[in-house]
Structure 1
Amino acid sequence: MATTINSLKNNIQGCLGLAKIKRDIEVRCRDEPAYRDLYEESWVTLYGAVEDEPITFDLNFPVFRRAYTHPDPETERAIQCRMDELMIAYQSMIARTRMELSCDPDLYDQFILVLGGSSGQLMSVIDPEGSLRGLQGKV
């Protein structure tokens, strides 16, 4: 389970990092038309098109229920304590991500674009009520 949480955390952090870079570029392109022209020209020269391909990756979400309990009470308490720690870490990561996205509509927009086809599955965990969907940045 710890591996699943770390993998999800790495995916979210990577997508957020890329979304921040893309947000900064989009804001600068919006504010500086000469920069936008140079950026687009350079991108086409390097890659042949301005559009990015969405990142694809498998999302695995942790399951916090166990099929059995350990017969030794002390061992069972230790296992349950570790499960509780992992659940708190997971919930904290999701809450931090939600807060960061809720404070920056431009970042939210780019995060959704970076996630591509995985956005629905991940956003159902980050924003189960869908309250962030109303955010729209200027990019």
Structure 2
Amino acid sequence: MTVVPLPQRPIRGHASSRGISIRELSARTGSTLRALRHYEDMGLLTAGRNARGARCYDADQRHAANLIAGLRRLGMPLRDIHTAVAADLPPGDRAAVVARFLADETDRAAERLQDLRLTLLALETSGLDSLADAPSVLPAEERRHAR
């Protein structure tokens, strides 16, 4: 791993356009310090180092961290994020990875919503006891994996 020192932040407390600390990046992205370090260990982020040796993130890394945080909030697994941000893939292929994940998540959400609507309808028409008397039905997620 190559460590590139970045200049320190200005003393006034305003972040330099060249780099911000890991704590500032954490605050901006909503990611924990531990998560950001993990992303670096996985190769998703590359931190430079300031004069004191502390991690320092430039604009490109801030952009990458925001993308990773957004995809994590959507529930995307890190292995898929790693593929989506891989520099060796063309941008269209990287976008396709995210699009496939979002399409799958949309399908899962639609199945879950259908299950909830059917359960609500049964509850409203037959009461709570009818739900206990109904045959056990696998949730949408389990039905899909049982096929």
TM-score range, shorter chain: under 0.3
- TM value normalised by structure 1: 0.25
- TM value normalised by structure 2: 0.24
Structure having greater relative contact order (Cα 8 Å, sep ≥ 6): 1
The structure in which a higher percent of residues are helix is 1
The structure in which a higher percent of residues are strand is 2
